[in-house]
A = this chain, B = another copy of it.
Amino acid sequence: MEEIRVGLLGLGTVGSGVVKIINAHQDRLIHQIGCPVKVTKILVKNLEKERDVQITPDMLTKDATEIIDNENIDIVIEVMGGLEEARAHILRALQNGKHVVTANKDLMAVYGSELLSVAKENQCDLFYEASVAGGIPILRTIVDGLSSDRITKMMGIVNGTTNFILTKMSNEGRAYEDVLKEAQELGFAEADPTSDVEGLDAARKMTILATLGFSTNVELKDVSVKGISSITEEDLAYSQGLGYTMKLIGLAKRDGEKLEVSVEPTLLPNTHPLAAVQNEFNAVYVYGAAVGETMFYGPGAGSLPTATSIVSDLVAVMRNMRLGVNGNSTVTPQYPKVLKNEDEITAKYFLRIHVKDEVGVFAQVTSLFSEYGASFEKIIQTPLEEKGTAEIVLVTHHTSLTSYKSILQRLEGLNVVQGVKASYRIEGEGK
């Protein structure tokens, strides 16, 4: 092999980062793979735009077929984002025998299984390390590092925007809207933050992690999702008082063969390793039956961290090319999917309700829990300034989700209950 030729779909900040790293590390890459690697064609929308990266005009094209149908290109790196167009390009590239590296989490969450099957059929590599937790080599760790273990639980802080917001709210006692605005000004949150703050971005990443970690085809619709936009300063103050830290946690758990995958604001004991993950950082906690607790921490986004992951994937593809073993490490799910029903999902919960400040109310509330066999670890009752209202905060013992949902519904129906103000799952005590 004289040289390995790479085509790039997209030249935004991540794409530019990839070009820069390949240029800057040319000597080391030659040492690692034994021949030069060259970016030859780049798909862009605008040929005229000024770009802060060393490229010649003839490298740019507005026509994707010049890359995906180009016989002289060995590897396609997809950093254009979006869904249908990216899927079509990658499918065609794979069918043309090109290896693909992508950072596209939306795509892998929705079309991952299809793309991986096509890659395998065509003996191509399809790597996507950068799609989850940008700078953390978590997918490789799951596939290789923990290959001899059985992963039973993954908990991820996989969205930097929401972790930044929750960290600021917790540390500075500030309101959600206020911190969101700061995050937008600092560039940690987008103008339309919905996908981040409502948990959709995290759900996509958990879909990818659960599929790989449990080797079963988890789909986006299997993930129950709740965002952070309704968290209040009161909730955070109570959590801290009880020794918990609030995080937006993606949870993928299996008991026997049955799975649950969710993304929701979750209380973790302060001593849990994920509780210390601050600001825009990401981390994935993995529990293996043999290895026990492990955690992988790093930047979740950013052009250079993401580009680093992409180039690491590129190096893996190129090594495989030199060895003639492409497609062998493409992992497709091997087990059928069995989801837990709500009866089989159990957890502890934190609940904050407002009640009439009258004799007998407390007993009414607690006896409702008893009806469902739910018991408490902690109860705090505080009279509020509003006359005639008291606030009750409860921490339950483990309860099934079915029972818990019934309790919530029945509470809302009680005459003495003025409102269920907040409800959060508690995780991370024990394994």
Determine if A308 and B149 form an interchain contact, defined as CB atoms under 8 angstroms apart.
yes
- A144-B144, A315-B148 known; A281-B293 Cβ under 8 A: yes
A129 — which chain B residues lie within 8 A by C-beta? 145
Q: How far is the CA of A144 from the CA of B309 in the complex (A)?
A: 10
Determine if B276 and A21 form an interchain contact, defined as CB atoms under 8 angstroms apart.
no
How many whole Å from A290's CB to the nearest CB in chain B? 4
Of B275, B278, B308, the contact of A146 (CB 8 Å cutoff): B308
A29 — which chain B residues lie within 8 A by C-beta? 148
A276 — which chain B residues lie within 8 A by C-beta? 273, 275-276
Kindly state whether residue A347 has any CB partner on chain B within 8 Å.
no
Kindly state whether residue A288 has any CB partner on chain B within 8 Å.
yes
Determine if B293 and A295 form an interchain contact, defined as CB atoms under 8 angstroms apart.
no
Contact residues, A55-109 vs B (CB, 8 A)? none
Q: How far is the CA of A304 from the CA of B293 in the complex (A)?
A: 12
A298 — which chain B residues lie within 8 A by C-beta? 291-295
Contact residues, A120-163 vs B (CB, 8 A)? 129, 135-137, 140-141, 144-150
Please indicate which of the listed interface residues A148, A281, A292, A315 has the most CB atoms of chain B within 10 Å of its own CB: A148
Contact size range, A: 35 or more
For A303, the closest partner residue in chain B by CB is B290
A316 — which chain B residues lie within 8 A by C-beta? 144, 147
Determine if A288 and B273 form an interchain contact, defined as CB atoms under 8 angstroms apart.
no
- A323-B323, A325-B325 known; A302-B312 Cβ under 8 A: no
Q: How far is the CA of A325 from the CA of B145 in the complex (A)?
A: 19
A31 — which chain B residues lie within 8 A by C-beta? 334
Contact residues, A269-317 vs B (CB, 8 A)? 271, 273, 275-278, 281, 283, 288, 290-299, 302, 304-305, 307-309, 311-312, 314-316
A304 — which chain B residues lie within 8 A by C-beta? 290-292
A283 — which chain B residues lie within 8 A by C-beta? 295
Q: List 21 A-B contacts (CB under 8 A).
A: A21-B148, A32-B147, A135-B288, A135-B294, A140-B141, A141-B145, A144-B315, A145-B309, A146-B312, A148-B312, A149-B312, A273-B281, A273-B297, A290-B305, A291-B308, A292-B298, A293-B299, A294-B297, A294-B299, A295-B296, A295-B297
Given contacts A135-B291, A140-B145, could you give 7 more A-B pairs where the C-beta distance is less than 8 Å?
A31-B334, A144-B144, A148-B311, A290-B305, A290-B307, A291-B305, A292-B299
